[in-house]
Amino acid sequence: MMNTILLHGWLVKVFIVLLWVIAIAMRFTMQDDTREGLLFSLIAISNFLLYLMVAMRLPLLTHSNMAVLLPHFPQKLKQALLVIFAISLLPTLLVLPNVVTWLAFISISILATLVFVAMIYQPIYQIFLWLFILMPLPMALLDISLDKEKLFTALAWLLPLISWLAYVLLNKLAHYRGNHHHVSKMIAITNASIGKTLAVQESIPFADRTKLAQWWANSHYNHYRKLICAATNTSQGLSNRKLIEISCQSANSFGANAYVIWSLGITLLCLIGLVIDESYHHFFTPMVTLIPAMIIGTGSITLFQIIQGKKSYLARLAILPRFKQHNSFARAFLYYVFSNQVLLYCFIAVLLAVTAKVFGHINEAIYINSVLILLVHCFVSISIMLFAWRTVDDYSNPIVWLMIIGFVGTMVLTIQMVKSTMELLIFSGLFQVLLASSVLLIMFSSFRYLNYYSNK
């Protein structure tokens, strides 16, 4: 039963098993060593995902009220973790008969487990993850080359020491109840379904948030406080769209401060890119690819969750006398959603253009194609959101999953496009159908939303 809790989440489990199956298939069809790197990556990614999943579930057990009162709890927890770890080692057998590599893989797996668990309980340890991501650049700058053979041999020899360290830390973990403040937030988030993660974050009392989060929320709300004050002092008052915009704000909204922070971050990155030699630019490619994806994720999924959580509030707003004109609420609402999302996607398009210019990771044709894909993504994403907001039932979970899948799909398609020599998508018949369908979809969903409020 403990294993079931630690491995909760069928989508991640299916994905991990799929990666294992691909790794097995690859191992048995591999004729030479050319695809060895890919095999290693598959095993590593699948295992890391597994460790991350387990690490995220762990606080539910270690920091529950009952953990200190349940007989033999530490022993049972350790047993469950060891069983999962042993199972995770099965795919690493695929690297055999190379024993050194296999032992090195076990060492890497243990170290990854330790880092993931530490990261969950103490956010400061996220530094290890960033060090791992950013390491190649300073190594290249300092001209340090890593010999894979030597590294693996060292890791294989270090296995007893790493195992001993893991054993000590496992014993500590089984009794660990520290950093309760942070862990309780983690528990609240992991305890919630994917559609409700934002609602859980919103429910954290203001005083319990970090200083940075408090500043972030305050600076975001200040903008709207000023708007309200300005409107109070004038005879015109707030427009319908502004009123809806203010009503749809939360501490996690992607607002003006988010745009400023991201712009500053990108500017800094571009400045570094302009200063250093072009031969190092490829080290930045993962980051500059990931940033637009992160912005879409936070900008659109967050908007969906915020409005989903405020549906009843918006319904009460819609019956205010100022919205008595036919469709006035729905029109103002759609205006707000469209302007919000168009601004977000335009920002990403500009960001892509700037980074492409500096780092040269995509050419002009790929840029135009990426923007076209983003356009389709934008239309589909808004349509899905409108469909969900219109329904009385709560479909938050499937919608968020759908948005995540759509967003990952867009990323994969974009990355695939970068690798291939694809021509302009606008001339592709398939894409034209896709674009036309997305336009039809957004028109239909908007029309339905307009009707929804006019029929009330």
Partner 1 sequence: MTCIVNVKGLTKSYKNQSVLKELNWQVEQGDVVGLLGKNGAGKSTLLKSILNISDIDSGAISIFGEPSNQLSSISKARIAYVPQENDEISWLSVKDLINFRKQFYSTWSDEKVTELVSSWEIDLAKKVAELSPGQVQRVLIILALAPMPELLVFDEPAASLDPAGRRDFLKEILNLVSDENITVIFSTHITSDLERIANKVAILDKGQICYYNDLDVTKESVVQLTVHCKKEQDITIPYLLRGKHHSQGQYGVVSQLDQTWLTEMKEKNVEVTINPMGLEDIFLELTA
Residues that bind partner 1 (CB under 8 A): 1-2, 4-5, 8, 60, 64-66, 68-73, 76, 177, 187, 191-193
Rounded distance between C-alpha atoms, residue 179 and residue 38, angstroms: 38
The minimum distance between CB 35 and partner 1, in angstroms, equals 39
Residues with Cβ within 8 Å of residue 389, at least 6 apart in sequence = 307, 308, 311, 449
- Closer CB to partner 1, 68 or 134, in the complex: 68
Phi and psi for 124 in degrees, rounded to 5?
Answer: -60, -30
Smaller CB distance to partner 1: residue 208 or 364?
208
Among residues 80 and 306, whose Cβ is nearest to partner 1? 80
**Nearest approach, Cβ of residue 343 and partner 1 (Å):** 35
CB of 180 to partner 1, least distance (A): 9
CB of 16 to partner 1, least distance (A): 19
Give the C-alpha separation, 106 to 160, whole Å.
11
Q: What is the CA radius of gyration of the chain?
A: 25
Alpha-carbon distance of 391 to 393, in angstroms, equals: 6
Return the number of other C-beta atoms located less than 10 Å from residue 435's C-beta.
18
- Taking the CB of residue 212, how many other CB atoms lie within 10 A of it? 8
Selection from 164, 234, 151, 190 nearest residue 52 by Cα:
190
Nearer of residues 65 and 232 to partner 1, judged by Cβ: 65
Least Å from the CB of residue 207 to partner 1: 10
CB of 55 to partner 1, least distance (A): 16
Residue number, 8 or 361, with CB nearest to partner 1: 8
Residue 198: is it exposed, middle or buried by C-beta count within 10 angstroms (0-12/13-18/19+)?
buried
Q: How far is the CB of 53 from partner 1 (least distance, A)?
A: 14
SS3 call for 99: helix
Q: Please identify, using beta-carbon distances, which residue of 9 and 136 lies nearer to partner 1.
A: 9
| 161 CA to centre of own chain | 34
Return the number of the residue (208 or 423) whose C-beta is nearest partner 1.
208
Could you check whether the bond before residue 97 is cis, i.e. omega within 30 degrees of 0? yes
CA distance 45 to 48: 5
**CB of 211 vs partner 1, minimal distance in Å:** 15
Residue number, 2 or 24, with CB nearest to partner 1: 2
Which positions ≥6 away from 231 have C-beta within 8 Å?
237, 238, 242
